[in-house]
């Protein structure tokens, strides 16, 4: 690699020249910046604008120039305003080229960028919102997403503070966003766990309060969009319930649900699935996770998961990121997923739940809650694919760590009456409906699985566990006799039908052969006659 090229690359991303392969997208930024070398960084602003207009006659050229300008914008903070105005000069495509390149940085380069470059990128978003750049909210979604990654904790909080400040300073802009904007959902989920991860009274209290203000404003004023989170919105509100502003939202939801447009109260949210699962984790987490589940060989999964855990779960937000990853994996589904991928998904859930530090009781309980919450709030219209992965995980746990499987089953039984005592019957019905749906999906094998586990775990499992799920009643001798007689009658009926079918087939064959013989005689007589 050319020395000058390597030096430019080192201004943008952190990498070790001897050991690391430079990111391809970073090399593209450096290459395109060379097109503008000696022009935008030397000419006056007016001369630069004229030069940019002259060299961007078509879309392809405009993409290259926007790419190169972003390199200068991120590496030359002194002239940030100049380069931002240069981007606006070539933005006759509604900023499409510039925003595509910004997305590339957020998705592919964000963890590798120098922190000074990240600070300038945050400044870009502040200026873009002031200028009301079209569709900038779709790119901010990826910015919020990037907080759930491997960036250092202090840097994450600084980035979150800037994003919260932008939203709080431009509330009218937030109100003017089109319905269904995913950025709002990402803000609620990401800020929702960061608020918990920052202890009250810490040096980052101002960051915490700014995020609380953003979350409360969005839920209060854009509740229709927040409803798109469905059951996940209830999880977030449950976790933040001790905060006075969130507690006030709970009171309104329970006592006056019509204020939020809900007909049946919180039960309306049971029917909604969080359809944004694909963007709830950072791109780097999602890529690695998909590799482990879909492409990694079974005997290598442990090593990859260990790397995944050490990379993303070691910081102060590790417990929350683990819970977010569990929710992501539960909703991880693609059409025509082969059996080995479904198995790998169950294994990954098992790893997530069994690698929690043993002294982290709060984390243990919260992870159990996020695993079972789709069962506790199950609606018959919900697809079984969102509740089935738990059974896959339990099957693996029974084979490897039976006590863990028992603890999981005991948790869901106990939480039915504790999660919201006034609605115990609602939650009990939801869990039974979920088990029935999975029971039908597995064609009865789930009952055998749990029954087998009860034989193994008779010392741990409460006797009422399976009655709770299936309403099983012990059969008396007379009931067993009737059941056996019914099976014999069905077998005899089946044999009778098979015999009837066979006789009809033989009859048709005999008639056909007779017809052929008769036809042969007629033909023979006809030949003799002629």
50-72 pLDDT, tens digit per residue, is 888 887 777 777 788 889 999 99
Model pLDDT, residue 445 = 62
Higher-pLDDT residue of 446, 329: 329
How far apart (Å, rounded) are the C-alpha atoms in residues 26 and 9? 7
Which 3 state secondary structure label does DSSP give 294? helix
Question: Quick check: 198 and 157 in contact, CB under 8 A?
Answer: yes
Kindly report the pTM of this predicted structure: 0.82
Mean predicted confidence (pLDDT) in 256-266: 85
Provide φ and ψ at 13, rounded to 5°: -125, 160
CA 37, 38, 41, 45 torsion-angle sign:
negative
pLDDT tens for each residue of 394-410: 888 888 888 888 888 88
Cβ atoms within 10 Å, residue 74: 26
SS (H, E, C) 327-393: HHHHCCCCCCCCHHHHHHHHHHHHHHHHCCCCCCHHHHHHHHHHHHHHHHCCCCCCCHHHCHHHHHH
pLDDT in tens, 1-52: 677 888 889 899 988 776 678 889 999 999 999 888 888 877 788 888 888 8
Write down the pLDDT at residue 205.
94
Max mean pLDDT among 163-167, 276-280, 340-344, 490-494 falls in 163-167
Least-confidence region, from 193-197, 236-240, 450-454: 450-454
State the Cα torsion 316-321-322-327 to the nearest 10°.
160
Q: What confidence score (pLDDT) does residue 327 get? A: 93
Band of the pLDDT at 462, cuts 50, 70, 90? very low
**Structure token pair of residue 517:** 């013989």
User: Comparing 113 with 90, which gets the higher pLDDT?
Assistant: 113
> Which pair of structure tokens corresponds to residue 259?
């204020």
In whole angstroms, what is the distance from residue 37 CA to residue 21 CA? 25
pLDDT of amino acid 259: 87
Instruction: State yes or no: pLDDT of 318 exceeds 90.
Output: yes
Q: Which residues of 19-46 are buried (b: 16+ CB within 10 A; e: fewer)?
A: eeebbebbbbbbbbbeebeeebeeeeee
Determine the pLDDT at residue 131: 93
Backbone angles phi, psi at 113, to 5 degrees: -65, 150
Let me know if 316 is exposed, middle or buried by CB neighbors in 10 A (0-12, 13-18, 19+): middle
Position 261 scores a pLDDT of 86
**Confidence band (pLDDT; 50, 70, 90) for 233?**
very high
Q: Which pLDDT tens digit goes with each residue over 265-287?
A: 888 888 776 666 778 899 999 99
Residue 464: the pLDDT is: 46
Give the pLDDT of residue 482.
72
Q: Report the SS3 class of residue 511.
A: helix
Beta-sheet strands, E only, within 215-362: none
Residue 522, pLDDT score:
43
Does the pLDDT value for residue 448 go beyond 80?
Answer: no
10 Å Cβ neighbour count for 459? 7
Number of H helices and E strands in the chain, helices first, is: 27, 0
Q: Which residues sit opposite 113 in a β-bridge?
A: 13
Q: How many CA atoms lie within 13 A of 446 on its CB side?
A: 21
CB atoms < 10 A from the CB of 205, how many?
12
Looking at residue 481, its pLDDT comes to: 67
What is the enclosing helix (H) or strand (E) of 270? helix 267-270
Dump pLDDT digits (tens) for 356-377. Answer: 988 888 999 999 999 999 999 8
CA dihedral sign of residues 174, 177, 181, 183: negative
Give residues with Cβ within 8 angstroms of 419, minimum separation 6.
376, 427
pLDDT of residue 477: 57
pLDDT tens for residues 410-437?
A: 888 888 888 888 888 888 888 888 888 8
Residue ranges covered by each domain of the chain: 1-134, 148-280, 283-475
For residue 446, the surrounding DSSP H or E stretch is: helix 445-456
- Please give, one letter per residue, the 3-state secondary structure of 170-229: CHHHHHCCCCCCHHHHHHHHHHHHHHHHCCCCCCCHHHHHHHHHHHHHHHHHCHHHHHHH
Contact by Cβ (8 Å): 52, 90:
yes
In whole angstroms, give the CA distance from residue 399 to residue 412: 20
Res 510: pLDDT: 58
Specify the pLDDT at position 1: 62
């Amino acid at each position: 690699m050319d020395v000058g090229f390597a030096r430019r690359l080192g201004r943008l991303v952190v990498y070790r020249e001897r050991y690391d392969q430079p990111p391809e997208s970073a090399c593209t930024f450096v290459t395109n910046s060379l097109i503008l070398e000696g022009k935008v960084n030397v000419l006056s602003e007016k001369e630069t604008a004229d030069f940019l207009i002259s060299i961007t006659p078509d879309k392809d050229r405009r993409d290259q120039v926007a790419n190169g300008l972003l390199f200068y914008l991120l590496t030359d903070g002194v002239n940030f305003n100049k380069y931002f105005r240069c981007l606006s000069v070539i933005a006759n495509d509604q900023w499409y080229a510039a925003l595509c390149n910004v997305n590339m940085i957020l998705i592919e380069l964000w963890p590798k960028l120098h922190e000074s470059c990240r600070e300038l990128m945050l400044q870009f978003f502040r200026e873009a919102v002031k200028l009301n750049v079209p569709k900038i909210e779709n790119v901010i979604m990826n910015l919020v997403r990037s907080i759930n990654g491997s960036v250092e904790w202090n840097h994450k909080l600084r980035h979150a503070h800037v994003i919260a400040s932008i939203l709080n300073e431009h509330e009218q802009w937030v109100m003017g966003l089109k319905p269904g904007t995913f950025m709002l959902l990402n803000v609620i989920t990401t800020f929702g766990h960061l608020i918990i991860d920052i202890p009250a009274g810490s040096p980052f209290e101002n960051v915490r309060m700014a995020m609380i203000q953003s979350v409360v404003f969005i839920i209060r004023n854009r509740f229709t969009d927040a409803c798109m989170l469905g059951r996940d919105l209830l999880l977030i509100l449950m976790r933040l319930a001790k905060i006075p502003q969130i507690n006030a939202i709970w009171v309104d939801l329970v006592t006056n649900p019509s204020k939020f447009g809900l007909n049946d109260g919180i039960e309306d949210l049971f029917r909604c699935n969080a359809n944004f699962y694909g963007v709830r984790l950072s791109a780097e987490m999602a890529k690695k996770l998909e590799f482990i589940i879909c492409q990694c060989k079974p005997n290598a999964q442990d090593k990859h998961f260990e790397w995944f855990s050490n990379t993303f779960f070691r910081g102060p937000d590790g417990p929350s990121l683990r819970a977010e990853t569990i929710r992501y994996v539960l909703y991880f589904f693609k059409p025509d997923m082969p059996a080995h991928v479904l198995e790998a998904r169950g294994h990954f859930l098992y790893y997530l739940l069994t690698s929690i530090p043993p002294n982290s009781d709060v984390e243990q309980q919260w992870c159990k809650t996020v695993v079972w919450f789709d069962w506790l709030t199950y609606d018959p219209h919900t697809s079984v694919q969102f509740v089935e992965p738990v059974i896959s995980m339990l099957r693996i746990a029974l084979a490897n760590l039976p006590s863990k499987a028992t603890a999981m089953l005991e948790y869901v039984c106990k939480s039915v009456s504790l999660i919201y005592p006034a609605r115990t019957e609602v939650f009990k019905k939801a869990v039974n409906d979920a088990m029935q749906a999975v029971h039908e999906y597995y064609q009865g094998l789930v009952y055998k699985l749990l029954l087998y586990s009860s034989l193994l775990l008779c010392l741990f499992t409460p006797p009422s566990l399976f009655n709770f799920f299936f309403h099983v009643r012990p059969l008396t001798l007379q009931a067993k006799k009737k059941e056996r007689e019914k099976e014999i009658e069905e077998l005899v009926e089946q044999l009778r039908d098979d015999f009837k079918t066979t006789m009809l087939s033989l009859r048709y064959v005999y008639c056909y052969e007779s017809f052929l013989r008769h036809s042969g005689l007629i033909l023979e007589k006809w030949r003799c006659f002629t």
